[in-house]
Chains A and B, each alone.
Chain A
């Protein structure tokens, strides 16, 4: 049973349950009321509306799973940084579960804080930037399946869309626009510089990132996540395309702005970068979304290089996928907490002079393997 069928079942059951009421009302009431209720029942029970409601339920489930992962990630990040820095990390709030509830407490605190809009800010841009940032980041997850049965970008029989990878990376690339918008509309010099840095950095790292993705797509011969993961049945792409994996991880670290590459929010020189003027839950959303993007990056690396949900069947597929995604995230966080920050000219130099040639080399390797016929598909 896949996610669509599962949700469809729930929706059909619910609709039937509620329709009993509408049809009963339609029976007992006079015709001028009764026809109205019967009409509602027919409307809700029609095939198209059931599919729409199913998709909404599916999206909700994927978002809930993503949010739980984000909470886990923030907790893991804090605990891990505590291990690296010689302290405990969150401890008191929910101490029986390792301080896991600290995130909820912090979220609660951010919720009740005042949202301050600077007087000279561009109100519309200032409001729109978090919406675009959060929305586009959730959109990445739309096509990433946790297993062949757990994903929302399917048709009714559970076949996935063929261009899921393209869509995921397109959604990934929307964020610089919102960051630039946030930096510009805040009307503050620090946020402006942060936004500009972010735009420059993301543009220069998008190209090697997509080139490594192209090499994976070339080997797998498919643009869908299921096709790519199935192509890794014999060997993970991390082994033939090791250079690609390294380039991919560095680029993902730059795209989600973790410390060696967190120039847009370099707190030492730019206060808090492009998020300087945001307060309260808007800042909380930015922070949560950066972890969400970390999760998306880990999930993409898992699906493209680490064999996705493949693994011994002792553990369910979805859990395998999450274990790998968490591992990628831990590696990125490890890098984050133990390295200093690079400078803006150095980061562009690294992107154009080092990563781009490596990505092209990686593409060449993939093409060689493909020509020799070692990877079918």
Chain B
């Protein structure tokens, strides 16, 4: 049969954002693929050079609509490294709790999108409904629902509201019961397993060579998690597992994310129990010294990194953002080739694309 190129995107239900996947199909089988990103480039790195340090925090929120808190936290961490600011311990614990909530919310949103990619509308609605619990908590904490603007250089914006920690523990219990339900719903479904097991294989070697990070890497059998391997904040004090699966297929990616949600609930519980009383913010200097700062975190989608160069003024000389998805998406051709056209949505959905951070 004749081969043809199909543009899946930039406006296509599969893409979850503004990007283009060109696939070359032979009938229904994919023989070549080529992701094209850059439709959403906003020049955030350049904008940052014209903003003062505190002004960049809400901008960093806009990097990813799925997990905005991770990015503003990463930015604050990087600038603290540059300025040499000590963060109070309570602020670190608050940050960890909110980060793990953000990870839960992000993974739930991924699960919703993944379910609807596979044609399962029920999964979409259930996941989004349960994400609402976490979003409401973060809203009561920070005042907004999507871009929280909560961390500050040298701490967090506010202390926890009254009873917030109890509500957070209740939310953990709720999410855990829901996670059980999801496992039954998805893994109990023969069709879901048919669509996921042995689809989109990514070998360990390929994953390492292509710089894949985050859940796709861990699903290929590499135990690599920034929270364990290069602990930042107070993650070194907390007890949790790095979730990894050896198979490297779509089901492993799904499973790794579900396991991470369980681990996130564990982390939130521990962090709330250990949270000390005290200050939640210190005063950071207005001007940064001449020098560089580096921050690396485990984003829900992979390893996020920021590198900031200070020149003694109140604006960064350069801010470099390393986006996990920008690098992970380059592994798409090696995962897609040889599978059917319907597997495109499963494979690319399993990467959890977020174009905001990818195109910056």
Which has the most chain B C-beta neighbours within 10 Å: A271, A338, A340?
A: A340
Given contacts A269-B345, A341-B120, A341-B195, 19 further A-B contacts (CB under 8 A): A84-B122, A85-B125, A86-B129, A189-B6, A260-B119, A263-B342, A268-B13, A268-B14, A268-B118, A268-B345, A269-B13, A339-B119, A339-B189, A340-B120, A341-B119, A343-B340, A344-B341, A345-B28, A346-B194
Residue B182, interface by CB 8 Å: no
Determine the distance from Cα of A226 to Cα of B242 in the docked complex, in whole angstroms.
66
Verify B125–A87 contact, CB threshold 8 A.
yes
Within 8 A of B (CB), among A84-102: 84-87
Closest A residue to B25 by CB, please name it: A193
Q: Are A337 and B119 in contact (CB under 8 A)?
A: no
Interface string of A330-353 (1 = CB under 8 A from B): 000000011111111110000000
Q: How many interface residues does A have (CB within 8 Å)? A: 28
Chain A residues near B123: list those with CB within 8 A: 340
* A193 in contact with B341 (CB, 8 Å): yes
Say yes or no for A262: interface residue by CB 8 A criterion.
Answer: yes
Bound: A199/B12 CA distance, A: 24
A86: B residues at CB distance < 8 A? 125-126, 129
Partner of B344, one of A84, A260, A269, A271: A269
Give complex CA distance A269, B195 in Å.
14
Please indicate the chain A residues that have their CB under 8 angstroms from the CB of B6 in the complex: 189-190
Contacts of A189 in B (CB 8 A): 4, 6
A267, CB-defined interface residue at 8 Å: yes
Chain A stretch 300-353: residues in CB contact (< 8 A) with chain B: 337-346
Q: Are A269 and B125 in contact (CB under 8 A)?
A: no
| B192 close to A (CB within 8 Å) | yes
When the two chains form their complex, are residues B340 and A344 in contact, meaning their CB atoms are under 8 A apart?
yes
Chain A residues 62 to 114 lying within 8 A of chain B, measured CB to CB, are 81, 84-87
Which A residues between 242 and 264 are near B, CB-CB below 8 angstroms? 259-260, 262-263
Chain A residues within CB distance 8 Å of chain B: 81, 84-87, 189-190, 193, 197, 259-260, 262-263, 266-269, 271, 337-346
B26 CB to nearest chain A CB (Å)? 12
B122 touches A271 (CB 8 A): no
- Ordered by A's residue number, 7 sampled pairs between the chains whose C-beta atoms are within 8 Å are A189-B4, A189-B6, A259-B119, A269-B13, A339-B119, A340-B120, A342-B195
Residues of B close to A260: CB separation below 8 A:
119, 191
Give bound CA distance, A45 to B230, whole Å. 95
Cα separation A337 to B194 with both chains bound (whole Å): 18
- Given known pairs A85-B125, A339-B191, A340-B192, the reply for A269 and B118 (CB within 8 Å) is no
Which among B12, B14, B119, B125 is the interface contact of A340 at CB below 8 angstroms? B119
The answer to whether B195 and A262 touch across the interface, beta carbons within 8 angstroms, is: no
Interchain CB contact under 8 A, B122 and A269: no
Whole-angstrom CA separation of A271 from B6 in the bound complex: 12
- Expressed in whole angstroms, the Cα–Cα distance for A263 and B118 within the complex equals 11
Knowing A189-B6, A268-B14, the reply to whether A344 touches B342 (Cβ < 8 A) is: yes
Residue of B28, B115, B121, B129 near A344 (CB, 8 A) is B28
Cβ-defined contact, B194 with A343, below 8 A: yes
Q: Enumerate chain A residues within 8 angstroms of B4, measured Cβ to Cβ.
A: 189
What mask results when residues 35 to 54 of chain B are scored 1 for a CB within 8 Å of chain A, else 0? 00000000000000000000
A29 to B86, CA, bound (A): 111
Per the bound structure, the CA–CA distance linking A197 and B191 in Å amounts to 18
A189–B4 CA distance with the chains assembled, in angstroms: 9
The answer on a CB contact under 8 Å between B121 and A269 is: no
Task: Please report which residues of chain B, range 96-147, place their CB below 8 angstroms from some CB of chain A when the two chains form the complex.
Answer: 115-123, 125-126, 129
Within 8 A of A (CB), among B11-64: 12-14, 25, 28
CA distance A341 to B116 in the complex (A): 10
Complex Cα–Cα for A342 and B195 (A): 7
A269 touches B120 (CB 8 A): no
The 5 A-B pairs of least Cβ separation, nearest first, read A341-B119, A85-B125, A340-B118, A340-B120, A268-B345
Q: Report chain A residues within 8 Å CB of B189.
A: 339-340
* Alpha-carbon gap, A190 to B14, bound state (A): 13
Interface string of B192-205 (1 = CB under 8 A from A): 10110000000000
Do B119 and A268 touch across chains, with their CB atoms under 8 A apart? yes
Q: Contacts of B284 on A, CB cut-off 8 Å?
A: none
- Cα distance A193–B116 when bound, in Å? 20
- The answer to whether B340 and A271 touch across the interface, beta carbons within 8 angstroms, is no
Query: Which residues of A sit under 8 angstroms from B13, Cβ to Cβ?
Result: 267-269, 271
A85 — nearest CB in chain B belongs to which residue? Answer: B125
Q: Which residue of A lies closest to B12 (CB)?
A: A271
**How many angstroms between the C-alpha atoms of A342 and B345 in the bound complex?**
12
Q: Is B272 an interface residue (CB 8 A)?
A: no
A272 closest partner in B (C-beta): B13
Interface residues of B in 188-226 (CB under 8 A from A): 189, 191-192, 194-195
Which chain A residues border B343 with CB–CB below 8 Å? 343
A267: chain B residues within 8 A (beta carbon): 13, 119
Closest to B116 in A: A268
Q: Which residues of A contact B345 (CB under 8 A)?
A: 268-269
Is the Cβ of A269 less than 8 Å from the Cβ of B14? yes
The docked-state distance in angstroms from the alpha carbon of A84 to that of B185 is: 13
Q: How far is the CA of A343 from the CA of B28 in the complex (A)?
A: 10
* A271-B9 Cα distance, complex, nearest whole Å: 10
Taking CB atoms, residues of chain A closer than 8 Å to B116 are 268
Of A81, A271, A340, the contact of B191 (CB 8 Å cutoff) = A340
Query: Nearest chain A CB to B221's CB is how many angstroms away?
Result: 25
| Shortest distance from the beta carbon of B148 to any chain A beta carbon, whole Å | 26
B8 contacts the other chain (Cβ, under 8 Å)? yes
Shortest Cβ gap from B41 to chain A (Å):
25
Which residues in window 266-280 of B have CB below 8 A to A? Answer: none
Instruction: Give the nearest-CB partner of B344 in chain A.
Output: A269
| B residues near A346, Cβ cutoff 8 Å | 194
In the bound complex, residues from chain B placing their C-beta under 8 Å from that of A340 are 115, 118-120, 123, 189, 191-192, 195
- Min Cβ gap A185→B in Å is 18
A189-B123 Cα distance, complex, nearest whole Å:
29
Determine if B121 and A85 form an interchain contact, defined as CB atoms under 8 angstroms apart. Answer: yes
| Assembly CA distance A135 to B247 (angstroms) | 50
Query: Within 8 Å CB of A344, what residues of B?
Result: 28, 340-342
Contact yes or no, A342 B125, CB < 8 A: no
